[in-house]
Amino acid sequence: MPVYEYTALDIKGKTTAGIIDAESSLAARQKLRASKTFPVTIKEVSDTFASEKSKKSSLPFFFGRIRPSEVAIMTRQLATLVDAGFPLVSAIDALIPQTGSQLLKKILTRIKNSIMEGNSFAEALSSYPGTFSSLYLNMVRAGETSGTLEIVLERLADITEKQQALKNRIQSALYYPIFMLFIGAIVLFLLLTFIIPNITSIFTDMNQTLPAPTLFLIAVSSFFTSCWWLVLLVIVGMVFAMHGLKKTEKGRRFWDKTMLFWPGICILITKLAVARFARTLGSLLENGVSMLTALEIVKNIVGNVVLADAIAEAANEVRKGQGLGVSLAVAEVFPNLSIQMIQVGEQSGELESMLNKIANIYENEVESSIMSMTSLLEPVMILIMGVIVGFIVLAICLPIFEMSRLVR
């Protein structure tokens, strides 16, 4: 069924906008008038969603990106409506006007139409891999098969909300240090490029031997004054080079391996990946997804190629009859505590709950580590800035002291 975008006037004369599905533009106008809304303009939405079948869809660049928080809210509301006894199509139809994102509105409308044409909910969602992940699809498919869709949707909302909450806490902890670094870099750039040259020009005009710190400061300042554009070009070039490097398979592998060798950072990345792995695998297993299928899904969401390879190797060993804990231990990239807890869960038959406990432990450790790092980073940055500013003051004052001594 075609989908139309419209602008209209309500009974009070206020302008409203939205989307509506109807057989034709005439039917859409009649449908709007029946709801006491009087259309001003109405046009059919072209099938721009074909590109969504590719994960590299360019759609977000033109229509805006659907945030995970929006998907989580939609999932929570849908679970509530389905649990209250609403048929799935009616529940989705009730959600569409409440959705703030125009892109998500269009996607939900097309999903509703797909279900009305006889497709399952999971099949309708699979047309939009850029919005709904493989985890989302497989859990919905398992929920439809077992008849527990409302429970699955609640768990999906929980997973998305927890992951988003952890991400928000990490970002909030990093905002202040990054802001301080940015401001500090700008201040130093302005000092070296515009202020210091005016001060040091006095010393160069005196034609006397200057101290080594002053000569070094003058050289650095001269470089920034004449080649500041080159510095900015190098920084921008490095950013684009790193971005392009991570786009290639070899570059991504090199980057991920490098990140796992950095002291401190490697532990943080590993714990974050293990938390994501355990949370997702536990939820998939709880909803009836087989172990091999779940491992295939999980390896794509850990965020590190090296860890994904370890999970793929473990899946091959599980296929041969090995236990998950023993299989993961072979790669020696997962923490020993997580391996031991997985083995205990397998032996006790409580693997799903044990995986959720692992996720809770490592999510808390990641958050604590981030807080500790940022609390340590702030004084270190202040100390570095103080040393740099102190060196600049010393380099400027030394010639002044020399001049005052000569005057005496």
The single residue listed with the structure tokens 């569409």 is 96
Confidence (pLDDT) at 62? 37
Please give the share of the chain, as a percent, with pLDDT higher than 70.
89
pLDDT in tens, 208-263: 677 888 888 888 888 888 888 888 899 899 888 888 877 787 887 888 788 777 77
For the chain, what is the HEC assignment? CCEEEEEEECCCCCEEEEEEECCCHHHHHHHHHHCCCEEEEEEECCCHHHHHHCCCCCHHHHHCCCCHHHHHHHHHHHHHHHHCCCCHHHHHHHHHHHCCCHHHHHHHHHHHHHHHCCCCHHHHHCCCCCCCCHHHHHHHHHHHHHCCHHHHHHHHHHHHHHHHHHHHHHHHHHHHHHHHHHHHHHHHHHHHHHHHHHHHHHHHCCCCCCCHHHHHHHHHHHHHHHHHHHHHHHHHHHHHHHHHHHHCHHHHHHHHHHHCCCCCHHHHHHHHHHHHHHHHHHHHHHCCCCHHHHHHHHCCCCCCHHHHHHHHHHHHHHHCCCCHHHHHHCCCCCCHHHHHHHHHHHHHCCHHHHHHHHHHHHHHHHHHHHHHHHHHHHHHHHHHHHHHHHHHHHHHHHHHHHHHHHHC
pLDDT in tens, 159-170: 778 777 877 877
- Min mean pLDDT across 21-35, 184-198, 219-233 is at 21-35
pLDDT in tens, 267-302: 888 888 888 888 888 888 887 888 888 888 888 777
Q: What does the pLDDT average to over 122-142?
A: 83
The pTM of this model reads 0.64
Please state, rounded to an integer, the average pLDDT across all residues of the chain: 80
Assigned CATH topology for domain 188-408? Receptor-associated Protein (1.20.81)
What length does the chain have? 408
Question: Is-contact 71 37, C-beta < 8 A?
Answer: no
Q: How far does Cα 110 stand from its chain's mean position?
A: 26
> pLDDT band at residue 83, thresholds of 50, 70 and 90?
confident
The single residue listed with the structure tokens 């699809």 is 137
Specify the higher pLDDT residue, 59 or 14.
14
